[in-house]
Structure 1
Amino acid sequence: MWAKTALLIFIVWVIQGLLSYSQIKNFKLKLAEFKNYHRFGIGQVKGRFSRGVIVILGVDSNDIIVNAEIMSGITVFARFKPFDTLKNQNINHINAITKSMNKCTRNAAIEAINSLKHTKILEKEVVESV
């Protein structure tokens, strides 16, 4: 009896691993897409027993969000979807837009914007040092 239970647990664990691999592959494909933009930022909020959220933003040289995608969910079946609410918005005025979002989504979007602002500061430092 315990052997059947152990085998079942092992099979479920392998399936979960394969599905996780598929999700990571989807994430890497999205990152490759966003590398075509001037800059891109990633924001992530992990949910231990609640849903997690990942937001990827691609911006142009004027800090306008050209593309935005969101992955939200509890399971390994979650995939990226267009996040039209943030498209064509300036990253400097994003607080007004994120007010109506739920807490996890808002925090992930703000984290992505902060990473964009951080990379802009680093770009300025590199240009000034040259």
Structure 2
Amino acid sequence: MEIIFILVGIAAAWILQTILGTGQLRNFNKHYNALRQKGRVSIGRSKGIFRTGVVLLMGIDKRGRIHTARKMQGVTIFARFRDFKILEGQDLLNIDQDVYNKMDRYTKKAFDDAVDVYKKVARGEEIPQQKSPFGKLISSFGK
């Protein structure tokens, strides 16, 4: 009988996580689409299993300047995008070092990823699919 309660609890947690994860995905799509309507968007990510993750969305104008920046940072599925005004008005490829140094290390990693992706797209290169932290863990056992 106890096993049934455990299985029901696991199923309920999975369903709740799916619902809340869908809400986070909708939040991403809403902010991405709003920026995309204004022009190009560069996206940077910094992922972690047991540490904060960061997703950085930056709207880029024709001169390569960041007109809008939004950041989602957190460990849980409750994280949502917030304005990240410190980057607005900066040149994506030549950011002011003082502005860069004000970012935490996870945001710096996401920013660097966004710049790298932007450069690859500008050169017409393919963006490789990144493995999830779980995927990296699984592939480490295969070596």
TM range (shorter): 0.7 to 0.9
| Greater alpha carbon shift after TM alignment, 46-55 vs 25-34 | 25-34
Q: Which residue of 2 aligns with 1:35?
A: 36
From 102, 105, 108, the equivalent of 2:107 is 105
| Greater alpha carbon shift after TM alignment, 94-103 vs 14-23 | 94-103
Q: Is the 8 A contact 1:98 1:106 kept in 2?
A: yes
| Cα distance in 2, alignment partners of residues 118 and 37 from structure 1 | 21
Matches for 1:35-54 after TM superposition, within 5 Å: 35-54=36-55
Which amino acid in 2 is paired with 1:93? N
Shift of 1:95: 5.7
Which amino acid in 2 is paired with 1:47? G
> Kindly, what percent of the aligned residue pairs are identical?
29
Shift of 1:100: 2.6
Which amino acid in 1 is paired with 2:48? G
RMSD: 1.4
Deviations 1:41-71 (A, max 9, x none): 0000111111110001101111110000000
| Cα distance in 1, alignment partners of residues 12 and 39 from structure 2 | 43
Q: Which residue of 1 aligns with 2:90?
A: 89
Shift of 1:85: 0.7
Which amino acid in 2 is paired with 1:18? I
Q: Which residue of 2 aligns with 1:77?
A: 78
Matches for 1:49-60 after TM superposition, within 5 Å: 49-60=50-61
Q: Which residue of 1 aligns with 2:123?
A: 121
TM-score by length of 1: 0.86
Q: For residue 45 of structure 2, give the secondary structure of its aligned residue in structure 1.
A: strand
Q: Structure 1: where are the runs of 5+ without partners?
A: 123-130
Q: Is the 8 A contact 2:90 2:96 kept in 1?
A: no
Structure 1 residue 23 corresponds to structure 2 residue 38: no
Q: Which residue of 2 aligns with 1:2?
A: 3
Shift of 1:120: 3.1
Structure 1 residue 67 corresponds to structure 2 residue 68: yes
Aligned residues: 122
